Amino acid sequence: MAAGLQAIAGGEKVFDFSGVTSMDSAAVAVLLGWQRAARARNLALSFINVPATLQRLAGLYGVADLLPSTVDVSRFVPPTDVAGGARSDLPHH
């Protein structure tokens, strides 16, 4: 919880859970706490690569709409080709 709050205080708005394989109900409470802290700073958080277990728990508890998540990171990172350059054939956000 503390590391996330510190990141939010530093202006972080995107949290990537790609290295997390499972989460329990305590994680839902932590993410809701992060959302409250971000809103107090007028920041909108996004959670990317959220494990399916967390998505199911948030839905079960009726708070899924409070935890915006996506597995599509293209709106945060411009598409690149395998050579590492920006692709000119794809729209950029």
In tens, the pLDDT along 15-69 reads: 999 888 878 899 999 999 999 999 999 999 989 888 888 889 999 999 988 887 7
> Of 18, 20, 34, nearest to 72 (Cα)?
18
How far is Cα 69 from Cα 13, in angstroms, rounded to an integer?
12
Residue 34 CB burial class (10 angstroms; 0-12, 13-18, ≥19): buried
| Residues facing 46 on adjacent strands | 14
**pLDDT at res. 69:** 75
**pLDDT at res. 68:** 79
Q: Which domains does the chain have, with CATH numbers?
A: 2-70 (3.30.750.24)
**pLDDT at res. 88:** 54
Alpha helices, DSSP H, located in the chain: 2-9, 25-40, 52-61
